[in-house]
Amino acid sequence: MLTLTPTELDIVTLSIKIACWSTLGSVPVAMALAMVLARTQFFGKALLDGAVHLPLVLPPVVIGYVLLLALGRQGIIGEFLETHFGIVFAFRWTGAALASALMGLPLAVRAIRQSIESVDPRVEAAAHTLGANRLWVFCTITLPLILPGVLNGAVLAFARSLGEFGATITFVSNIPGETQSLPLAIYSLTQSPGGDAQALRLCGMSIILSLGALIFSEYLSRKLKQRIYGHA
C-alpha cells in the first residue's frame, strides 16, 4: 500500500520541506510572543493575544487571501520585496511555508506559553540577585526549563504544517512540483478518476508522518523532563 511512486515521493519530500521551514520560521516568533504574553502586562495585550490566535478561528482561506493581497506580485509588500530584493512568495513553495507558519503559530505559542507560566519566577529572581543579566538567566535557567514546551510547540506547528490546505491553496495555488503538498495532492487525486489508490497511499503517509512526529515529541519531552526534574 505504501510503496510510493517517484511522483508521490516528491510530494512527500516537498511536504516535509515546507513543514520544516515553516516550523523553523514560526518557533522563534512563537517563543518571543509567548514570553511577552506570559510575563508582561501592557495596554492592548488582549488585542495581541487575540491577533495571535486568530488563525485558529478564521477560515484558512481568509488567511491565504490576506497573504495574497499583501504578498502577491501586485500586493503592497509583495511588489516591494520583488522589486528591491527579488523575493517572491506567491505561487512558490516559500509562500506555502509562510502560510503554514502562520497557521501553526498559535499552537506553538499556546504550548510554549503554558511552559513559561509553569516556571517559578523566584528561581529566575534568585539568579538576578547573584548578578546574572536577563539574557544569561534566560539561556541557562528559563530556556532549559521550557524546552519540553518548546518541543511540543514545534511538533504541533510541524504537524499543522503537514495538514495545511486552505491558506496554502489560496495563496500559492496547487502547482505540482512547486506548491503541491500532501493535502493538496490528496484533494486533486480525489477529484480525478482512478486516483483513489494514490490518494489512499498519500493519506497513509500523512498519518505516518504526523503520528511519528507526535510519538517522537513525547519521547524527547519525557527525556528532557527526566534530565530537568530527575523523574519521568
Domains of the chain and CATH, by start: 6-229 (1.10.3720.10)
* Length of the chain in terms of residues written: 232
Q: Which residue has the cell 502586562?
A: 41
- 30: Cα separation from own chain's centroid: 9
Note the pLDDT of residue 77: 93
How large a percentage of the chain has pLDDT more than 90? Answer: 55
> If we measure between CA atoms, which residue out of 141, 180, 166, 204 comes closest to residue 68?
166
Rounded distance between C-alpha atoms, residue 147 and residue 16, angstroms:
23
Note the pLDDT of residue 132: 73
Rounded distance between C-alpha atoms, residue 177 and residue 138, angstroms:
42
Cα–Cα distances (Å) from 63 to 39, 54, 143, 185, 200, in that order, read 28, 9, 31, 20, 28
Rounded distance between C-alpha atoms, residue 225 and residue 135, angstroms:
23
CB atoms within 10 A of CB 77: 14
- Stretch 139-160: mean pLDDT: 88
- Reply yes or no on whether the pLDDT at 60 is more than 70: yes
- Reply yes or no on whether the pLDDT at 232 is more than 50: no
